[in-house]
Amino acid sequence: MNTTNRLWHVAAAVGLALLAVLLTTFYVTNYKRHVQHGESQVPVLVAAKDIPTDTQGAELLGGKWLTKTMVSRRQVVPGAIASSDQLRGLIATEPTYAGEQVTARRFGTPAERGVRAQIKATQRAVQVAGDANQLLAGTLRSGDHVDIVAAWEREQDPTRVSRVIIRDSLVLSAPIPPKASGGITSTSDFSAQLRLTDAQSQKLEWMIGHGKDWRLEIRPPADAKNSPRWHENSETMLTDGAGQR
């Protein structure tokens, strides 16, 4: 091997060595940056106490539900929330337990929860079947408030009475309006979902099973008022307005 070839081999070896040093330096530098980036502190929200499913995000904006803390970036849970304002207008779709980071993955819009987002405590979602007249099919809308008036016979005697048995129930789902063609042949042709308390649902169930008739009445959308509670029977109907001309 002549001198020129040897010089070329030496130069190539030196070049490869320098390239290896440069690559190693580049790798170490980037690794250090990555480690430092992962160790940097960032703010996250942590649940100060258990957040149950269906809790409104607006409720979490005040009080002692949340606390802000600093954690290393590598400890941040995917979807973690750093500001409570991000929860405004949302609702908890899964529980978050005390000490856990609050994440967007456990919250959603009320629409995602459906009727479940509109009931709490003693409230229940009840589906009622009836005919077009009973359920005001074609007129009733989701979001309306209704009273339920019913008539039945007393057990002690055959006297028939009527009265409003439930006040101010929210309509969760209205019946689909009847089609122009086709008749109404069954009381189960339509259905509506109502928000009732558990006690009110018992009254409605008894009335459906034992009463003679019942129907929904739409309440005014604003400034609705109730007349004094009373019932009607043949005697009250006969004497109502007696002596007046």
- pLDDT (0 to 100) of residue 38: 46
Q: What percent of the chain has pLDDT over 90?
A: 43
- The ranges assigned to domains in the chain are 41-110, 119-221
Residue 12, SS3 per DSSP = helix
pLDDT tens digits along 35-68: 455 468 899 999 999 999 888 888 898 778 999 9
> Quick one: CATH architecture of 41-110?
Alpha-Beta Complex (3.90)
Among all chains, which residue has been given the structure tokens 């979807």? Answer: 79
pLDDT tens digits along 95-109: 999 999 999 999 988
Per-residue tokens: 1: 């091997």
Closest CA to 220 of 142, 163, 145: 145
Query: Is pTM, for the whole model, over 0.85?
Result: no
Among all chains, which residue has been given the structure tokens 């290896």? Answer: 20
pLDDT tens digits along 150-202: 998 887 777 888 999 999 999 999 998 766 655 554 545 899 999 999 999 99
Instruction: Assign 3-state DSSP to the chain and report helix, strand, coil percentages, each to 5.
Output: 35, 30, 35
Among all chains, which residue has been given the structure tokens 């009847």? Answer: 178
- pLDDT (0 to 100) of residue 26: 67
Per-residue tokens: 169: 């129930």
